[in-house]
Chain A
Amino acid sequence: MSYDGSFMLCAGRRHFPVRDSMSEITSQRTGRMRGWALTSEAFRRLLGWLDGGASSDGLKYLEMRRRLVAYFDRKNCPVPDELADETLNRVARRLEEEGAIETDAPARYCYIVARFVFMEHLRETQKGDALANDLRQRSHADHLAATEADDARALKERRLSCLEQCLNKLEAASREIIARYYVGEARVKIEHRRALAEELGVTMNALSIRACRIRDRLEACVRECVGAGRNTPS
C-alpha cells in the first residue's frame, strides 16, 4: 500500500511540499503498517488534530515532523526521516480508528508513539535483516565519503554556488537577518544579535526563532540544490 497523492501545504505565498518520504512509506518497506493506508482524509484529520482547532496550514505538522526527525537522529537512528513518518502514520491511524485522542496533548502523544517506534527499531537492529540495512546505509555513506574525497574541491564549489543561489532566493530582510545573526565570533556575535534585535524592534528570543527558521530553509534549499546537481548528468 502507498500513500495516495501528495499534498502541497500552502501558507499564504509560501508552499511547503510534503517531503517525498511520505510517498515512500509502504508496508513492504516498514513491515509495520500492513493493511492500512494513509488516506487524504486521515491526513487532514491528523493536521487538524495537531493544529488543535486553529489552522496553521500544515506548519504544526511540519514542525512536529522536524522535531521527531531530530529526536530519532539524536538517538543515532540511521533513518530518522522514516521513523518520524512512521510515528506520524501511527498517530493518524489511531485518530482514524478511534475518532479522537484525548488522553494526551498532541505533542506528548506523538512523543509517546515515537518512543515506541524507537524501541521497536532498537529491537529490530538486533535482528539480522535490520542490521544488514544499517550496514548497507553505512557502506553507502562510506562510498559517498570516498566520492567526496575524490571531488572535494568541485563539490565545495558546487555547495558554495548553491548557497549563493539559495541566499538570493531569500527575501532581502531574511537575507539581512541571517547574514548578521550568524556573523562574528562568540562575544561579538552576542553584540551583533542584540543590535539586530533592537533595530528590528523584536526580543532576542523572537529574533533567535526567526533566524533559526531562515537557516533551516537555507539548509534545505542547499541540500536540494546539491542533490539536484549530483543527479544531473555532467
Chain B
Amino acid sequence: MSKQLDDTRTLTRYLLGSLPAAEAERLDELSVTDEEVAEALRSVENDLVDAYVHGELDEAARAQFKTHYLASPLRRERVAFAQDFKAYGERVSFTARAEAANETRAEGAAAATEAKAAPRRKGRDIFSALRDFNLSRPAWAWSAAFAALALVIVGGWLIFDNARRRQPAQTEARINAPEQQQTPEAKKESADKDATGTHPADEHAREGLESPAQERTSNDEQRLAEERRAAEGQRVERRRAAGQKSSAPRAGGGVASFILAPQLRGASQARSISIPTDAERVALRLRLEPNESETYRVALLDETGARALWRSGQVKARGSADGKILSLNFRARLLKPQASYLLRVTNDAGEIVDDYPFRVVKQ
C-alpha cells in the first residue's frame, strides 16, 4: 500500500498538470480505484487551493495553478470558496479579538468600580445570588451542608480503606525484607549490647571470628538472597514468555493470534507477523484510536488496496471509549507469505476509522 501511495509533492504536480502523461494516467486510475490515494488527493487539493489563496505558492506553481487548475469552472468555484473561507475567518478573528479586548477592558473597569464599593447589583454576581438564595431558603442551605458532610465522611472512609488495604502489603514487604528480619539470636545480641555496651560479635570480629549468631544470620541472609534471586528469575521468565506470546503465534495447526495498533501518519514500515504454515485461522485484536462509534466493519485488503479479500460483518468493540479493541479472525490461507496487506476499519457511516498495514513473514 505505502509504495503505491504518492507523496504530497507528486500529487501537487498531478493537480497542476506537471506530471508526465504515463504517471498522470496512473494517478488518474488510482484517484478512482484507490481509497487512500483518493483521500490524499482530496486533502492535497484543499491545501493547494488554500496555499494559492494565501499567496504561499512560488511563482512557477502560481503560474501553473492559474493556467491549469483554474481552467475548470468547478475548480474556480473551489477557489472562490477558499477565498470566502479566508475572508470569513479573518473577519471572525478580527471580531473575536475585538470582543476579547473589549471584554478585558470591561472586566478591568468593573474591578476598579467594585473596589470603590459600587452598589450591589442583585442577580448579576453569582455568589451574591447564591447567598440570597440560601438566605431565603434555609432548607436548601441545610441540604447543602449535609451533602458536604456526607462527602467528607465518604472521602475519609475511602482514605481509611485505602490505607487499610495497603497495610498487609507493607507487612508482607517487611516480612520479605531480610535486612529487617531479626533472628532471635540477633535480638539477643542487641539486647546484650544494650546491656553491656558492646556487641558480642564485636569481640569475635576482633578475633577474626564470626560469632555463631552472626554466622547463622549470614546463612539466613544467603538463603534468603538465593530465594529472592530464584523468584526474580521466575518473574523474568514469566514476563519473557508473555512477551513472546504477543508477538509469536501458538504453533500446531490452530489459531495464530496477534495484536495490531493503528498506523500513525508518517510511519514507513508495516508490522510484520509470522504465521505458522499449519495455522488454520488468524485471530487479530485491533486497538482502536479513541472514537465515538460502537460498531464497525473490517475489510482485509490486498497490497494494492483495490481488492477486498475478506470482509467482516458488523463487529462490536470491547473496552472503554479510550481503549477499544476489535476482535476478528479469518482463514489463514487468505494470507500469502512475503505479502503486504491492510486491515481497514470503518464505522457504520463508512468512514475510515483506522488502517492496520501488516506484512506476512514466512515462518
| A interface list, Cβ under 8 A from B | 11-12, 14, 52-54, 56-57, 59-60, 63-64, 67-71, 73-76, 78, 80, 105, 107-108, 110-111, 114, 141, 156, 159-160, 163-164, 167, 179, 182-183, 185-186, 200-206, 208-213, 215-216, 218-219, 222-223
B29: interface (CB < 8 Å): yes
Q: How far is the CA of A186 from the CA of B289 in the complex (A)?
A: 27
| Nearest-Cβ distance from residue A46 to partner chain B, whole angstroms | 16
| Nearest-Cβ distance from residue B21 to partner chain A, whole angstroms | 12
**Would you call A204 and B265 a contact (CB within 8 A)?**
yes
Q: Which of B312-330 contact A (CB under 8 A)?
A: 313, 322
**Would you call A76 and B71 a contact (CB within 8 A)?**
yes
* Residues in B neighbouring A164, C-beta threshold 8 A: 88
* Residues in A neighbouring B34, C-beta threshold 8 A: 107
| B interface list, Cβ under 8 A from A | 15, 28-29, 31-35, 38-39, 41-43, 46, 50-51, 54, 56, 71-75, 77-78, 80-81, 84-85, 87-89, 91, 262-266, 289-291, 297, 306-308, 311, 313, 322, 348-355
* Residues in A neighbouring B78, C-beta threshold 8 A: 219
**Would you call A68 and B54 a contact (CB within 8 A)?**
no
Q: How far is the CA of A213 from the CA of B311 in the complex (A)?
A: 24
| Nearest-Cβ distance from residue B212 to partner chain A, whole angstroms | 65
Known: A73-B74, A160-B84, A209-B352. A179 touches B89 (CB 8 A): yes
- Pair count A-B, CB < 8 A: 136
* Residues in B neighbouring A114, C-beta threshold 8 A: 32
**Would you call A105 and B39 a contact (CB within 8 A)?**
no
Closest to A59 in B: B350
**Would you call A213 and B351 a contact (CB within 8 A)?**
yes
**Would you call A12 and B84 a contact (CB within 8 A)?**
no
Contact of A201 among B32, B263, B289 (CB under 8 A): B289
| Nearest-Cβ distance from residue B272 to partner chain A, whole angstroms | 20
* Residues in A neighbouring B74, C-beta threshold 8 A: 69, 73, 80
Contact of B290 among A57, A71, A201 (CB under 8 A): A201
Question: With contacts A111-B28, A160-B87 known, what are 4 further pairs, Cβ within 8 A?
Answer: A63-B350, A201-B291, A205-B263, A218-B81
Contact of A182 among B29, B85, B289, B290 (CB under 8 A): B85
| Nearest-Cβ distance from residue A170 to partner chain B, whole angstroms | 13
Known: A52-B308, A183-B89. A212 touches B43 (CB 8 A): yes
Contact of B72 among A54, A57, A73 (CB under 8 A): A73
* Residues in A neighbouring B29, C-beta threshold 8 A: 108, 111
* Residues in B neighbouring A53, C-beta threshold 8 A: 311
| Nearest-Cβ distance from residue A13 to partner chain B, whole angstroms | 10
**Would you call A67 and B32 a contact (CB within 8 A)?**
yes
Known: A107-B32, A163-B84. A203 touches B56 (CB 8 A): no
Known: A76-B72, A107-B32. A206 touches B289 (CB 8 A): yes
**Would you call B352 and A202 a contact (CB within 8 A)?**
no
**Would you call A71 and B84 a contact (CB within 8 A)?**
no
**Would you call A186 and B51 a contact (CB within 8 A)?**
yes
| 22 residue pairs bridging A and B, Cβ less than 8 Å apart | A52-B311, A56-B349, A57-B350, A64-B32, A74-B31, A111-B29, A156-B84, A156-B87, A160-B91, A163-B85, A183-B89, A185-B54, A186-B54, A186-B56, A202-B289, A206-B289, A209-B39, A210-B351, A218-B81, A218-B85, A222-B84, A223-B81
**Would you call B43 and A208 a contact (CB within 8 A)?**
yes
Closest to B74 in A: A73
* Residues in A neighbouring B81, C-beta threshold 8 A: 163, 218-219, 222-223
| Nearest-Cβ distance from residue A78 to partner chain B, whole angstroms | 8
Known: A185-B54, A185-B56, A204-B265. A159 touches B80 (CB 8 A): yes
Closest to B349 in A: A11
**Would you call A212 and B46 a contact (CB within 8 A)?**
yes
* Residues in A neighbouring B262, C-beta threshold 8 A: 203
* Residues in A neighbouring B89, C-beta threshold 8 A: 179, 182-183
| Nearest-Cβ distance from residue A176 to partner chain B, whole angstroms | 13
* Residues in A neighbouring B290, C-beta threshold 8 A: 200-202
Q: How far is the CA of A80 from the CA of B306 in the complex (A)?
A: 24
* Residues in B neighbouring A211, C-beta threshold 8 A: 43, 46
**Would you call B33 and A70 a contact (CB within 8 A)?**
no
Which 5 residue pairs of A and B lie closest in terms of their CB atoms, listed nearest first? A201-B290, A204-B265, A56-B350, A59-B350, A111-B32
* Residues in A neighbouring B91, C-beta threshold 8 A: 160
* Residues in A neighbouring B311, C-beta threshold 8 A: 52-54
Closest to A212 in B: B42
* Residues in A neighbouring B87, C-beta threshold 8 A: 156, 160
Q: How far is the CA of A129 from the CA of B362 in the complex (A)?
A: 61
Q: How far is the CA of A204 from the CA of B265 in the complex (A)?
A: 6
**Would you call A206 and B31 a contact (CB within 8 A)?**
no
* Residues in B neighbouring A76, C-beta threshold 8 A: 71-72
Known: A111-B33, A212-B39, A222-B81. A203 touches B263 (CB 8 A): yes
